[in-house]
Amino acid sequence: MSIKSITALIFVVLCIAISSADIWSYCPGNIDATFTIDTLTVSPDPPLIGKAAFVKLAGSLSDEVTEGESVFSLQYYIDGAWRNLPTFKNDVCKLLSCPVQPGPLVFNTTINVPFITPPGQYQGTLQLTDQNNKNISCLTFATTLAYSI
């Protein structure tokens, strides 16, 4: 699987997970986070494997971000146990144009959920840090992906 496909899959799973308050939460100890999520919508909700997902994220950033890192850990439930998938580290500024100024932040994107994504249960953690290794935000989630009927 290519890096672009893997990155798209990770972003889709994260967006699916945080689109519903029932399946995401801030990490325990999400102290002094500089980004607060106001709304996150995904259409269709839930997204479907092999289809496009339209994502809109809105929130508020309290500090300027000139660079940073995201660390995404993901697990997939199979054969009665959670299996670790690769952990991905990415440059925050590859997704957003840095510097990102404090204030309201809206991010819109369309993502194709790869047809090769296995259906089932997923859980994970996304940790975002800025140029000073300060917590931007940390989220945990659990969700289920399926094919369209």
What does the alpha-carbon distance between residue 76 and residue 127 come to, in Å, rounded to a whole number? 18
Overall size of the chain counted in residues = 149
The architecture that CATH gives domain 3-145 is: Distorted Sandwich (2.70)
Tens-place pLDDT, residues 85-118:
889 899 999 888 899 999 999 988 887 878 888 8
When pLDDT is cut at 50, 70 and 90, the band that residue 4 belongs to is very low
* Amino acid identity for residue 43 in this structure: S
- DSSP category for residue 47: -
Specify the 3-state DSSP secondary structure of 50: coil
pLDDT of residue 136: 93
Determine the straight-line distance between the first and last CA of the chain, rounded to whole angstroms: 25
pTM for the whole structure: 0.75
pLDDT of residue 23: 59
